[in-house]
Amino acid sequence: AQSVTQPDIHITVSEGASLELRCNYSYGATPYLFWYVQSPGQGLQLLLKYFSGDTLVQGIKGFEAEFKRSQSSFNLRKPSVHWSDAAEYFCAVGARSNDYKLSFGAGTTVTVRA
Amino acid sequence: KAGVTQTPRYLIKTRGQQVTLSCSPISGHRSVSWYQQTPGQGLQFLFEYFSETQRNKGNFPGRFSGRQFSNSRSEMNVSTLELGDSALYLCASSFPGRENTEAFFGQGTRLTVV
């Protein structure tokens, strides 16, 4: 069975500072990996995804993530945070099969201070 | 193109009642998945439908059911509502079969059981 751990429940960062959100997964093979963002009362928006190939993936809104197989990690980064990045971020893992079940981490809430 | 549409956006129901939520996927998408999001349990997979067949089911009681129609629209039903069913219910659609497929989420239906 697949599972995801996001060790940080809440992170506070200053506007303009860098951000890194941690994600560790458990899966028997190379999974599909995703980062989603959710603003209050809204659905989930995909930031980026990893399926195969280059382990450093670029996403929308200036986010990037790096897949490290040896550490079973898929950490999300942004060099310079904007106030609009305040939201909840979810890491998700999907199996390489034809079903589309995603297993999500508990989420990390990001607060941006001026 | 239009995104995933969920109706209604908000619902208030009484314990013991039943409720039906609707999801219209992105045009051309044939896979529809449902997730429950609560503060305590996070995002949990309910079930996934493809071509009117349930392919995968999460660990929820039989009070939770769903179906998919020939136009790929999906409904989920919760019978005998309990207070603990209060949650944001999210629907996601995918275009299965393509290597770079991903799940697109709707804005969700906020169900409150009183």
List Cβ neighbours of A86 (8 Å cut-off, separation of 6 or more).
A110, A111, A112
Q: What are B's interface residues with A at a Cβ cutoff of 8 A?
A: 4, 6, 31, 33, 35, 42-43, 45, 48, 50, 55-56, 58, 90, 92, 94, 96, 99-108, 110
Interface test with A, best of B7, B21, B43 (most A CBs within 10 A): B43
Q: Nearest to residue B88, comparing CAs of B74, B105, B104, B108?
A: B108
For B102, the closest of A49, A90, A105 (CB atoms) is A49
pLDDT at res. B113: 98
* Residues B23-73: tens digit of each pLDDT: 999 999 999 999 999 998 999 999 999 999 998 899 999 999 999 999 999
**Does residue B96 have a pLDDT over 80?**
no
Closest chain B residue by Cα to residue A4: B43
* Cβ-defined contact of B105 to A103 (cutoff 8 Å): no
Contact between A43 and B106 using a beta-carbon 8 Å cutoff: yes
β-strands B109-113, B87-94: how paired? antiparallel
Which residue matches tokens 């989930």?
A: A44
- Which residues in chain A are closer than 8 Å to B107, comparing Cβ atoms? 42-43
The token pair that represents B70 in the structure block: 């020939």
Q: Are A33 and A90 in contact (CB under 8 A)?
A: no
Q: pLDDT digits over A64-109, tens only? A: 999 999 999 999 999 999 999 999 999 999 876 656 788 999 999 9
- What are the residues whose beta carbons fall under 8 Å from the beta carbon of B26, sequence distance 6 or more? B1, B2, B3, B4, B93, B95, B104
As a three-state string, the secondary structure of B69-104 is CCCCCEEEEECCCCHHHCEEEEEEEECCCCCCCCCE
Interface contact flag, B42 A104, Cβ < 8 Å: yes
Predicted local distance difference test score (pLDDT) of residue A41:
81
Contact call for A101 and B31, based on CB within 8 A: no
- pLDDT, tens digit, for every residue of A11-40? 999 999 999 999 999 987 778 899 999 998
